[in-house]
Structure 1
Amino acid sequence: MLLKINDVEIAAYPAPGEFKVMVLDLDDADSTTRTANGTLNRDRVAVKRQIEMSFAPLEWDKISAVLTAMKDEFFDFYYPDPMAGAYVTKRMYVGNRPAGIPFEKGGVLWWEGLQITLTER
């Protein structure tokens, strides 16, 4: 699987252990309503993507490189999209990026279970 951030391949890092692409429908909050009988009147304004990734333990320099690649407010993310049936580039932003307890192995600090959620702008 090929993944790029701002046209830079992140395959040099370990690939994510988990990679989920969600297709999100965004509805207008004011005009999307349910009638008294439960019928939905829907005003879909956009279809966006959200991607969840998690990684096995990463060495300190590798986790730093992954997080630094996503440091900007928005960035281009290239990935395989199941709905498009092809690789696509979407403008994304990143949410919280928790990383578990670090541990030392062979004199190198490793970080456990980095999780990343990307959402299309």
Structure 2
Amino acid sequence: MHEITLCQRAIELIEAQALQHGVTRVTGVWLEVGAFSCVEQSALEFCFELVARETVAEGCELHIHQQEAECWCHDCQQHVQLLSSLVRRCPLCAGSNLRVVADDGVQIKRLEVEETNHV
């Protein structure tokens, strides 16, 4: 299960940003999961909650956006959306000369933080 490793790295990055900006609590995290990342959303949610314990992101709301499987078809010269990463033919022309455009990783797209009052 590589979801735990992805979450550990995400928390490291979140904590580094929080420290850099003087944030003590992260209330929301937006992740984008690449179409070809082989990440299971429910496992990612479970692992994130586990790894976030006792960090600035503990109890935050996790938002996950699954990227669409996008490819470039060299045969018909079009960007096409695939319904599955197992599809090997262009849905427009049935050509097999596809180049993957979609990502295969996980990215932190946005953080929401709780404002701190400086006196």
TM range (shorter): 0.3 to 0.5
For normalisation by structure 2, the TM-score amounts to 0.32
Larger strand fraction of residues: 1
Larger helix fraction of residues: 2
Indicate the structure whose relative CO is greater, using CA pairs within 8 Å and at least 6 residues apart: 2
For normalisation by structure 1, the TM-score amounts to 0.32
